[in-house]
Structure 1
């Protein structure tokens, strides 16, 4: 993943012992032939044949319960105890870094330098190409002290309308609906190429693929996903086969995919980035929408992004990103012990009724490990300060912070 030579080896090791992004497209995509098409032969028709795997049975995990650890102290306990609280909190935040500026963004610099934020998200749209992107990534990584854990650098490189990085060195990636028509082997091969481009640019976390299950009858009405052709077809089979092939290619290139937006945005008609009070009144813990994510986890996903919608049949009182009940489905029902992250909670209309500082606290309190503040980096200082203050006042919350930091550090060590 990221280079680890700048980080103390002992911290990497003990983090492992402790455990055993979204861009809103601005235009309707119009897929056309590009380098992905001409270099890989003709596009066959038909739908992928793989079927979703059943949800794994719940298994106890130390990381499933905040603060859980083996009886007695461990090296990991000592490592976390030796990390100042402000630095721990910094590991739980992902700050946006606008790519259109072509240089280090002042609010992002403040977040990294003054608030110890350990992860950045390349936000917006760029035609600068791979070499310029690598220079930008290196500039952000240089802001962190050499003793800090490696910085995760993320972006949104789904394809179609949602492709942050373009220009020389980056392929033109088609929309997911197009990718879903290819045989699995071809999609995995091309995803490996796209992932290699990201890795060469210094990016190690791709906030893709979309695993939302969009019914065929809701394709155009589904504002966040279907309208922009971000879904891998309209059946659980096609979504699982396409998304896991994309993920496998990314992982082969050394880039971790983030499957999203749990427990699913395929049945709503409004976009949580631009609309308040988006409610799904269909999905339950046992829906096919959740089974699709279970298959993604079973296939090796280590990061899952939550939706900003409300799911009235799971938790009618709060958005998924603030919901312990939604996170519990991941941790308990699906036995997911990886990293859970929010969608953007810095500027999304769906969370606008909650102050930015309170958004960060509510997300971590729900069991989230990474809080994404991509569209508006200026809110990160308030988020960091609020997390530190709450952890100082509340030992139980401080234990949740430690558990989340341990999962993030373990992911960085992998």
Structure 2
């Protein structure tokens, strides 16, 4: 055999050997990859804070709003959960400290909060409230217009006072009412206010009744149309809406100053008071405020604000699933009926989600103790917290992954 022939054969053998080696190495690399792929596809991976999930097909699914809010609640302490259910009057001292110490859900501005303020200083003050809060903070102001206005009581903040809906309607119909609603919304946003606690859904055509000046002054149909239009306008402007005073004030006396008993029949209430609330709910109202009147036809034993029967009408008969709040807990209609220490717990147990109060420092410990003892279930507590957080999300106060 010649030298050239030997060299040729050796070359062929080397090429074959090298090819086999490369093939074996290739198989070894592919097997772990197949195994790893199989393992990944059979597992569900959860990211930090559980805001996203990786599925078997490796697609990411963002958790729903409710799932993300429930995760927030899961990470809250009892103190934080209870605090979220209190929308309180700004205290005259320790306003910033109390936000942190009581984990408050929000502040409700009153006339005294406007004293010596300008638009710039009030905006700064509200921003400081927000910065102090661990959970995004709600700021509200009672701004029906006319006799009930806070921020426009100071011309340095709002030069042209908010007029009552009734006055506006008489001047220019619903278009002028909605124009004013838009103006309010723009001012709220500029200041950092999220909701104005209106429209008033009470029906009154009697100028002698206590509530008349605060209503649109129209019949049931006219009041219902007013409520629907205002709720939709507020929603369009991302400002909260609050229907009040459930189940309708009627021509009763002033519950700010005394215990009031509503003696109307259930037929009259259903015919003349409930329709604007029904229409407002259908229009997408965010919240409903319950009066302190004792409504004999529904519950003759206790004020509406602490009556489970009243809240059953709202939830079960009218199908409302938003935030239910009390009227101001300091009003005589409730304060003369039950102690302030026990009032908030009674209101929450009856079905309210949000307490409007000035005496939160004594009420919150009572509610917390009731949760810990099982007298007020943590399940009910968390259901109310979820409604409050949903409202905050819808108003843009809470930001979530979408």
Q: Same fold (TM over 0.5)?
A: yes
**Aligned counterparts, 1:145-224, within 5 A:** 145=134, 148=135, 150-166=136-152, 167-170=155-158, 171-181=160-170, 182-214=172-204, 216=205, 218-220=206-208, 222-223=209-210
Query: 8 Å contact 1:16–1:409 — kept in the other structure?
Result: no
Match of 2:124 among 119, 124, 135: 135
Structure 1 residue 402 corresponds to structure 2 residue 388: no
Q: Which residue of 1 aligns with 2:82?
A: 89
Q: Which residue matches 1:282?
A: 264
Residue 349 and residue 289 in structure 1: after superposition, are their counterparts in 2 closer, same or farther (change >3 A)?
Answer: closer
Q: Aligned partners of 2:311 and 2:149: how far apart in 1?
A: 28
Report the Cα distance in structure 2 between the residues aligned to 1:330 and 1:392, rounded to whole angstroms.
Answer: 28
CA distance in 1, matches of 2:301, 2:366: 22
TM-score, normalised with respect to structure 1: 0.74
Unaligned 5+ runs, structure 1: 1-7, 19-74, 99-104
Matches of residues 6-405 of structure 1 in structure 2 within 5 Å? 10=51, 16-17=65-66, 77-97=70-90, 105-124=92-111, 126=114, 128-145=117-134, 148=135, 150-166=136-152, 167-170=155-158, 171-181=160-170, 182-214=172-204, 216=205, 218-220=206-208, 222-223=209-210, 225-226=211-212, 229-268=213-252, 270-275=253-258, 277-282=259-264, 284=266, 286-373=270-357, 377=358, 379-394=359-374, 397-405=377-385
Structure 2 regions of 5+ residues with no counterpart? Answer: 1-48, 53-61, 395-402
Describe the SS at the equivalent of 1:158: coil
Root mean square deviation, CA, Å: 2.3
SS of equivalent to 1:261: strand
Contact 2:195 2:239 in 1 (8 A): yes
Q: Distance in 2 between matches of 1:231 and 1:120?
A: 25
Contact 1:283 1:311 in 2 (8 A): no
Q: CA–CA distance in 1 between the matches of 2:103 and 2:385?
A: 13
More helix by share: 2
Paired with 1:349 and 1:396, the residues of 2 have a C-alpha distance of 24
CA contact (8 A) 1:308 1:351 kept: no
Task: Say whether the 8 Å CA contact 1:265–1:307 is kept in structure 2.
Answer: yes
Q: Is the 8 A contact 1:261 1:307 kept in 2?
A: yes
Q: Number of residue pairs matched?
A: 329
Q: RCO (CA 8 Å, sep 6+): is it higher in 1 or 2?
A: 1
Matches of 2:69 and 2:133, distance apart in 1: 22
Compute the displacement of 1:241 (Å): 2.2
Q: For residues 338 and 372 of structure 1, do their structure 2 counterparts lie closer, same or farther at Cα, with a shift above 3 Å needed?
A: same
CA spacing shift, 1:256–1:131, aligned 2, 3 Å: same
Offset at residue 200 of structure 1 (A): 0.8
Judge conservation of contact 2:169–2:176 (CA < 8 Å) in 1.
no
* Cα deviation code 1:253-306 (max 9, x no counterpart): 2211211100011220x211111x201111536232011111111111011000
Instruction: Decide whether aligned partners of structure 1 residues 245 and 139 sit closer, same or farther in structure 2, where only a CA change above 3 A counts.
Output: same
Q: Is the 8 A contact 2:303 2:333 kept in 1?
A: no
Larger radius of gyration: 2
Q: 1:84 and 1:130 mapped to 2: Cα distance?
A: 36
Structure 2 residue matching 1:210: 3-state secondary structure = coil
Task: Give distance in 2, aligned partners of 1:335 and 1:243.
Answer: 17
**Residues 18-60 of structure 1 deviation map (CA, whole Å, 9 limit, x = unaligned):** 6xxxxxxxxxxxxxxxxxxxxxxxxxxxxxxxxxxxxxxxxxx
Cα shift at 1:15: 8.4
Q: Alpha-carbon deviations, 1:144-179, whole Å to 9, x = none?
A: 13xx2x111001111111110122452422112213
